[in-house]
């Protein structure tokens, strides 16, 4: 038997990993200095961060919150011995105008109305966004919300939105009545005609009469008083809301076998997507009234909303087309094999799935549109950016630049960032259903 005493018989105690591999040092080694190139990158970026912060922080750290004019800001700063162009921010302008930047010229007594409208928007969307946490009955509120929101924002008699709603009810009743007697297509056409007649001819007088009998309503607020962030949100939300049904129709039209219908839809989508939004806004501000019958006059915010809706519809159509394309062919074939007709298949099988897939796309379309609403300042509307011009035209704040831009950028960032994060979460949540 050979001597095997050189083989160790007992185990060595476990040793700690080398100090350079664990803890802060090890982390830094792996994540920051894992190579020459990486080390250079790290050093450069740290310098860049330092450089930016060194310029920004002393400027932003400026006790001028209570100043009432730029001149007073300058006084406060020179009192602290800070002279020069970039000596410090003048936060007084934000203190003075932040409410205006959010609410525009909306009467201050009614601030609760836009706030309520946008909070209720969250409630109305919750059946879609937090489906598992809210009762299914809430979907009824979501259906009513499109009538509630304009009423809250613009005010006026309660009967108008109710009568608009009644149009849908009447139209649906006519459809149900007719569909038992004649063909589906005919009853659909008649129902649509009835609705149009109701809205164009009957609704106005009827709601007038009802309002004079039972006057229930809240103070009307003209859309000229909309401004600031609230205007951006209103344009964004209303345009996206209307663009959803239009976008669905356009997407279906683009997918359809009917040549002329397809050509019309493709033409519309490509036209809208091919021109800059600013040209569409110019159409809203200069041409839309010329296109309408003589004597018609929408106010400018309505016109902008109309053009923004058309704009969003084209993009929405593409998003929904993507959702439709993502559905496996088996879903279409399955619907066909069940003997469902085109509309039944769309309503019961295709659309619910396609829309669910499209939600992240819809959210990002909304974010895009919401950001693009800053363009309305070019045609003279007072969105936050437009208001900043008006604010700088006051003798007190003439010459303020960075504080306003920075604040506006921050407002947009907070809104858009939280929405995009939420949409990412939603995407992850919905993805599990398909894997």
| In the complex, minimum distance from the CB of residue 294 to other proteins, in angstroms, rounded to a whole number | 5
What phi-psi label fits residue 343: left (phi over 0), alpha (psi between -120 and 50 degrees) or beta? alpha
Tell me whether residue 103 or residue 351 sits nearer to other proteins (CB atom). 103
Distance CA 211, CA 158 (A): 8
Distance CA 33, CA 17 (A): 19
Tell me whether residue 62 or residue 100 sits nearer to other proteins (CB atom). 100
| In the complex, minimum distance from the CB of residue 387 to other proteins, in angstroms, rounded to a whole number | 8
Tell me whether residue 176 or residue 273 sits nearer to other proteins (CB atom). 273
| In the complex, minimum distance from the CB of residue 15 to other proteins, in angstroms, rounded to a whole number | 27
Tell me whether residue 9 or residue 108 sits nearer to other proteins (CB atom). 108
Look up tokens 């039944």; give the residue: 344
- Residue 156 pairs in a beta bridge with 218
Distance CA 306, CA 302 (A): 6
| In the complex, minimum distance from the CB of residue 328 to other proteins, in angstroms, rounded to a whole number | 15
| In the complex, minimum distance from the CB of residue 270 to other proteins, in angstroms, rounded to a whole number | 7
- How many C-beta atoms lie closer than 10 Å to residue 140's C-beta? 10
Distance CA 150, CA 159 (A): 12
Distance CA 37, CA 239 (A): 48
- Pick the closest to residue 223 from 299, 306, 130, 164 (CA basis): 299
Tell me whether residue 173 or residue 401 sits nearer to other proteins (CB atom). 401
| In the complex, minimum distance from the CB of residue 374 to other proteins, in angstroms, rounded to a whole number | 4
**For the chain, how long is the longest CA-to-CA vector?**
116
Tell me whether residue 245 or residue 352 sits nearer to other proteins (CB atom). 245
| In the complex, minimum distance from the CB of residue 198 to other proteins, in angstroms, rounded to a whole number | 10
| In the complex, minimum distance from the CB of residue 229 to other proteins, in angstroms, rounded to a whole number | 12
Tell me whether residue 75 or residue 333 sits nearer to other proteins (CB atom). 75
93 within 8 A of 70, measured Cβ to Cβ: yes
Tell me whether residue 45 or residue 131 sits nearer to other proteins (CB atom). 45
Tell me whether residue 342 or residue 352 sits nearer to other proteins (CB atom). 342
| In the complex, minimum distance from the CB of residue 147 to other proteins, in angstroms, rounded to a whole number | 8
DSSP code at position 399: T
Distance CA 426, CA 297 (A): 41
Tokens standing for residue 89: 């921010």
Residue 397 phi/psi, 5° resolution? -110, 10
| In the complex, minimum distance from the CB of residue 14 to other proteins, in angstroms, rounded to a whole number | 28
Strand-strand pairing, 217-218 and 156-157: antiparallel
* In 256-394, alpha helices (H): 259-274, 277-282, 288-291, 300-326, 329-337, 342-345, 351-372, 384-392
Distance CA 393, CA 390 (A): 5
90 within 8 A of 403, measured Cβ to Cβ: yes
Tell me whether residue 276 or residue 352 sits nearer to other proteins (CB atom). 276
């Amino acid at each position: 038997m050979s001597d095997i005493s050189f083989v160790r018989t007992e185990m060595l105690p476990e040793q700690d990993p080398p100090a350079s591999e664990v803890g802060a040092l090890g982390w830094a080694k792996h994540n920051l200095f894992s190579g020459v190139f990486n080390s250079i990158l790290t050093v450069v970026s740290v310098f860049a961060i330092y450089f930016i912060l060194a310029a920004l922080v002393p400027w932003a750290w400026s006790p001028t919150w209570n100043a009432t004019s730029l001149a007073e800001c300058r006084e406060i700063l020179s009192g602290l011995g800070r002279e020069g162009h970039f000596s410090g921010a003048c936060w007084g302008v934000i203190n003075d105008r932040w409410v205006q930047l959010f609410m525009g010229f909306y009467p201050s007594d009614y601030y609760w109305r836009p706030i309520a409208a946008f909070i209720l928007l969250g409630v109305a969307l919750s059946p879609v966004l937090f489906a598992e946490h809210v009762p299914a009955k809430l979907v009824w509120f979501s259906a009513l919300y499109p009538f509630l929101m304009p009423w809250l924002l613009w005010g006026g008699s309660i009967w108008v939105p109710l009568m608009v709603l009644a149009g849908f009810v009447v139209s649906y009743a006519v459809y149900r009545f007719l569909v038992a007697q004649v063909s589906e297509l005919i009853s659909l056409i008649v129902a649509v005609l009835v609705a149009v007649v109701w809205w164009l001819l009957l609704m106005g007088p009827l709601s007038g009469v009802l309002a004079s009998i039972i006057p229930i309503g809240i103070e009307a607020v003209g859309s000229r008083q909309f401004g600031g962030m609230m205007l951006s949100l209103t344009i964004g939300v209303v345009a996206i809301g209307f663009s959803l049904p239009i976008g669905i129709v356009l997407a279906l039209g683009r997918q359809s076998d009917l040549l002329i219908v397809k050509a019309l839809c493709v033409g519309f989508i490509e036209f809208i997507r091919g021109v800059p939004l600013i040209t569409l806004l110019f159409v809203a501000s200069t041409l839309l009234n010329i296109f309408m019958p003589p004597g018609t006059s929408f106010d400018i915010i309505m016109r902008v909303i109309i053009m923004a809706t058309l704009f969003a519809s084209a993009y929405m159509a593409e998003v929904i087309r993507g959702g439709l394309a993502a559905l496996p062919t088996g879903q279409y074939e399955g619907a066909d094999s069940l003997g469902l007709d085109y509309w039944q298949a769309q309503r019961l099988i295709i659309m619910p799935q396609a829309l669910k897939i499209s939600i992240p796309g819809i959210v990002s379309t909304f974010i895009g549109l919401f950001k693009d609403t800053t363009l309305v300042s070019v045609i003279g509307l007072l969105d936050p950016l437009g208001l900043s011009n008006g604010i700088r035209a006051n003798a007190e704040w003439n010459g303020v630049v960075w504080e306003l831009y920075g604040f506006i950028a921050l407002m947009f960032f907070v809104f858009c960032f939280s929405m995009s994060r939420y949409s990412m979460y939603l995407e992850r949540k919905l993805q599990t259903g398909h894997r």
